[in-house]
């Protein structure tokens, strides 16, 4: 059973977003995603300062089994990446919603909001899938 | 729905994630694939490999039949219980399958073949057995468990009677013996010591559970793949198939060209290749940049040409990415790999990366990376 914290928002590509008090957005992959991928062995993060668009592939997570793109859920500028993941990608498996965060994005003021799901909607989305 | 081994229900009840492998529903992993890998390197793990085929061959002319059928020489098998790793080739020298052949008596041999090639192999063997009046019997009534790791033999022997345990622990590598209904051999596909048990399918679940109770960790095909990759062992369908020959697949050591009088299938083609010299070879790659090498990625060997990764992944023991690649012969020590659009640096190394839990990589010496 994968966990879906109520206070976060989600995408149908299994990213989560946390809206921080300073207006920036923290992004990671969900518990469901880390479980489906298996043990993570390599994470490739965007350069700080890179402009990303909602829905754009901007990071890669590689597990023992396969590589998967991670898509930015918002349009804006990457202002920080999680330095822990370079040496310890398994942090995402262990704590996907806190210590395993991947990047922080400053949302562009004129950005059109990307399609995001509430926790309840994401749970419903997962329930509609096979596993 | 794929085919199922006798252990399918047990795998599900142990929480395994099941995947298709060669038409079989097999456990990929029970929990963490990395933990399963390390369990085998550090202590003991058990794999259900009952999807592999057991084929028994009987008849007074079975030895000459196998001398014709197989590229390695069964003439080397003189003591009952001895096993040999070999390729079975087509006339063009392509690999129909790689398999283990075991000697029981002069009228009885056993083959252990790959899951995905089982039906094809049987048809291939049956089509040629008639000339030698060899009877071919697929043993679907048997299961195979591979118990691997430094503690594997001791923990398996504890399930046997004291007399049988002593006998099993005396087995040399690539030797096996029948103990009641079980055939126990000191073989495997992980680079660790261990046993493979061929036993009645009806006993498989009880034995698998007894092994778990004896602190042998159930392991899936995911860990089996990273273990065999580290050990430098080929996977049929990845590293060789009917379109590639043993000399360009790192399998030249399994081909016995002497005596010349042994006209095995594929020999003529291999002799021609020997005369010309192989133009490609299978090498090991160690990724020097960060990332993960995967099958089918392109490899650029400066001055030699281009090649492709045949098997790749993350080595849990080395904590780096490793691969096998088929490259033009004469590639240098440094290559580049196209990893998702980025060119990463990799070092060409022998395909054996890990044995008995230890890295076999020599540390790069100053000057090694000179062009």
Model confidence pLDDT, tens digit, residues B85-132:
999 999 999 999 999 999 999 999 999 999 999 999 999 999 999 999
The segments of chain B whose pLDDT lies below 70 read 363-371
Q: What is the pLDDT of residues A106-127, one digit of tens each?
A: 998 887 767 799 999 999 999 9
Distance CA B339, CA B343 (A): 6
pLDDT digit string (tens) for B25-42? Answer: 999 999 999 999 999 999
Which residue matches tokens 């580290």? B230
- Is pLDDT at A57 greater than 80 in this prediction? yes
- Within 8 A by CB and 6+ apart from B324, the residues are B229, B232, B234, B238, B239, B250, B282, B283, B284, B285, B309, B310, B311, B312, B351
Q: Are B299 and B336 in contact (CB under 8 A)?
A: yes
Alpha-carbon gap, residue B158 to B161, rounded angstroms: 8
Domains, chain A, ordered by start: 9-127 (2.40.50.100)
Of residues B28, B290, B292, nearest to A67 (C-beta): B292
Q: What is the largest CA-CA distance in chain B?
A: 61
* pLDDT tier at A1, thresholds 50, 70, 90: low
Predicted pLDDT of residue B140: 95
User: Does residue A67 have a pLDDT over 80?
Assistant: yes
Q: Report the residue of B291, B295, B318 to disrupt the A interface, i.e. the one with the largest count of A CBs within 10 Å.
A: B291
Q: ipTM score of the complex? A: 0.88
Q: Which residues in chain A touch residue B29, judged by CB atoms under 8 angstroms apart?
A: 38
| B311 lies within 8 A of chain A by CB | no
Which residues 200-239 in chain B show a CB within 8 A of chain A? 222, 226
- pLDDT-based confidence at residue A130 (cuts at 50, 70, 90): low
Contact of B340 with chain A, judged by CB distance below 8 Å, is answered with yes
B120: three-class secondary structure by DSSP? helix
Contacts of A38 in chain B (CB under 8 A): 29, 32-33, 222
Q: Distance from CA of residue B295 to its chain's centroid?
A: 17
Q: Return the SS3 of B17.
A: strand
Q: Give the mean model confidence (pLDDT) for residues A50-60.
A: 95
- Answer yes or no: is pLDDT of A41 > 90: yes
CA distances from A115 to A9, A12, A108, B19, B293 (A): 10, 9, 15, 32, 33
Average pLDDT, chain B: 96
**Model confidence pLDDT, tens digit, residues B313-333:** 999 999 999 999 999 999 999
CB B322 within 8 A of CB B315: yes
Q: What pTM does this model have?
A: 0.94
């Amino acid at each position: 059973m994968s966990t879906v914290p109520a206070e976060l928002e989600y995408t149908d590509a299994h990213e989560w977003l946390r809206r921080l008090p300073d207006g920036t957005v923290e992004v990671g992959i969900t518990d469901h995603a880390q479980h489906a991928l298996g043990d993570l062995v390599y994470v490739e993060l965007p350069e700080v300062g890179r402009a990303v668009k909602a829905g754009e592939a901007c990071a890669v997570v590689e597990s023992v089994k396969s590589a998967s793109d991670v898509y930015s859920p918002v349009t804006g500028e990457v202002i920080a990446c999680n330095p822990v993941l370079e040496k310890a990608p398994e942090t995402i498996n262990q704590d996907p919603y806190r210590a395993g965060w991947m990047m922080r994005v400053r949302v562009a003021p004129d950005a059109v909001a990307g399609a995001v799901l509430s926790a309840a909607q994401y749970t419903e989305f997962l329930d509609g899938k096979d596993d | 729905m794929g085919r199922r081994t006798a252990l399918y229900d047990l795998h599900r009840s142990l929480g395994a994630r099941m995947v298709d492998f060669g038409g079989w529903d097999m456990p990929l992993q029970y929990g963490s694939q990395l933990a399963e890998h390390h369990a085998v390197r550090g202590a003991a793990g058990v794999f259900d490999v009952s999807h592999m085929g057991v084929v028994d061959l009987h008849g007074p002319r079975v030895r000459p039949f196998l001398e014709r059928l197989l590229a390695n020489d069964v003439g080397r098998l003189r003591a009952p219980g001895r096993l040999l790793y070999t390729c079975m080739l087509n006339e063009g020298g392509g690999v129909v399958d790689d398999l283990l052949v075991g000697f029981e008596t002069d009228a009885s041999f056993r083959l252990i073949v790959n899951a995905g090639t089982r039906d094809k192999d049987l048809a291939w063997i049956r089509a040629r057995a008639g000339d030698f009046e060899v009877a071919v019997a697929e043993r679907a009534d048997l299961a195979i468990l591979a118990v691997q790791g430094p503690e594997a033999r001791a923990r398996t022997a504890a399930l046997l009677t004291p007399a049988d345990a002593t006998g099993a622990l005396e087995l040399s590598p690539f030797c096996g013996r029948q103990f009641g209904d079980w055939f126990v051999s000191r073989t495997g596909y992980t680079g660790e010591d261990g046993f493979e048990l061929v036993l009645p399918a009806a006993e498989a679940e009880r034995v698998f559970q007894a092994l778990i109770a004896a602190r042998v960790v159930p392991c899936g095909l995911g860990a089996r793949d990273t273990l065999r990759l580290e050990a430098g062992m080929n996977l049929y369908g990845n590293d060789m198939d009917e379109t590639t020959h043993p000399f360009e697949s790192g399998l030249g050591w399994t081909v016995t060209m002497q005596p010349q009088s042994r006209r095995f299938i594929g020999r003529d083609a291999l002799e021609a290749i020997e005369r010309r010299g192989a133009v490609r070879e299978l090498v090991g790659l160690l990724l020097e940049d960060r990332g993960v090498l995967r099958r089918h990625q392109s490899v650029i060997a400066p001055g030699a040409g281009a090649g492709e990764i045949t098997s790749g992944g993350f080595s849990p023991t080395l904590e780096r990415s490793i691969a096998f690649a088929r490259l033009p012969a004469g590639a240098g020590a440094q290559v580049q790999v196209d990893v998702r659009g980025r060119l990463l640096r990799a070092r060409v190394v022998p395909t054996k990366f890990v044995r008995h839990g230890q890295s076999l990589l020599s540390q790069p010496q100053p000057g090694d990376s000179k062009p």
